[in-house]
């Protein structure tokens, strides 16, 4: 008379065991899949290119000394006009030339010095060329000796008064360089996956580094080296 209840209980127990076994299998498979997704590799890709500068900022500084302040300002004006005429003669456009206010020093009222000076006043002034025609302007820098022969004392070697070359087309070249860096990173990741008997999966994360712009070398400041490094993390699978 107790056979039917015992059979039902046995059947229920078998169903529970089968259910627990199936659940354990599914959980194991899920754990393996999670473990597989935890396998990943982080690689870096580099892109370096060289481009000519597209803007030149060329300051031409000169100095004048005199005992008479009015004569000093007249000399400043004459020298500035001579430099401007020289630049225009050699093809520099008028709107590419600017003139800074003069910096005048009265040695008599300075707080230092023993008062032994041959000229009381000294002044410096700067004529600046700002041009996108870098190839046309650069050769003129070798011809500044002509101004010295005309009695103009050039002081362009002073700190903070050096020629600068600028590169303003970064937004134009950025997409191609980022693509190149990412492509190189993927090639490195594929090589790593092959060496470890794995397959390269999807990208988990990617980070674009900052672009850097520097002179190619000390003797070629008009040639700019652009550099960017991209960091990419990939999933790996068997």
Q: Where are the domains of the chain?
A: 1-38, 39-54+167-238, 55-166
Distance, CA of 215 to CA of 67 (rounded, Å): 43
Level-2 CATH architecture, domain 55-166: 2-Layer Sandwich (3.30)
35 pLDDT above the threshold of 70: no
Which residue matches tokens 């700067």?
A: 126
Question: What pLDDT shows up at residue 27?
Answer: 45
Distance, CA of 23 to CA of 188 (rounded, Å): 40
Which residue matches tokens 């070629």?
A: 220
Give the residue among 159, 189, 76 at the shortest CA–CA distance from 124.
Answer: 76
CATH of 39-54+167-238, one of 3.30.110.170, 1.10.10.10, 3.30.450.20, 3.30.420.40: 3.30.110.170
What is the token pair recorded at 11?
Answer: 């059947």
Segment holding 234, helix H or strand E: strand 223-237
166 pLDDT above the threshold of 60: yes
In residues, how long is the chain?
A: 238
Highest mean pLDDT (candidates 8-12, 127-131, 233-237)? 127-131
Highest mean pLDDT (candidates 13-27, 64-78, 105-119)? 64-78
């Amino acid at each position: 008379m107790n056979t039917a209840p015992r059979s039902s209980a046995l059947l229920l127990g078998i169903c529970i065991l089968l259910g627990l076994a199936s659940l354990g299998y599914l959980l194991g498979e899920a754990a393996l899949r999670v473990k597989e997704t935890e396998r990943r590799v982080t690689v870096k890709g580099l892109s370096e290119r060289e481009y000519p500068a597209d803007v030149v900022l060329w300051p031409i500084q000169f100095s004048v000394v005199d005992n008479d302040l009015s004569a000093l300002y007249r000399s400043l004006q004459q020298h500035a006009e001579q430099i401007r005429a020289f630049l225009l003669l050699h093809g520099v456009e008028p709107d590419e030339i600017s003139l800074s206010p003069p910096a005048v020093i009265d040695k008599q009222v300075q707080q230092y010095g023993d008062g032994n000076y041959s000229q009381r006043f000294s002044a410096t002034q700067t004529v600046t060329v700002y041009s996108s025609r870098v190839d046309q302007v650069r050769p003129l820098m070798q011809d500044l000796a002509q101004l010295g022969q005309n009695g103009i004392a050039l002081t362009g070697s002073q700190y903070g008064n050096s020629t600068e070359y600028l590169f303003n087309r970064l937004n134009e070249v950025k997409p191609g360089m980022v693509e190149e860096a990412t492509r190189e990173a993927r090639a490195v990741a594929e090589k790593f996956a092959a060496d470890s008997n794995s397959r390269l999966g999807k990208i988990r994360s990617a980070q674009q580094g900052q672009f850097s712009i520097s002179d190619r070398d000390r003797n070629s400041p008009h040639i700019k080296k652009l550099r960017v490094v991209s960091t990419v993390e990939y999933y790996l699978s068997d």
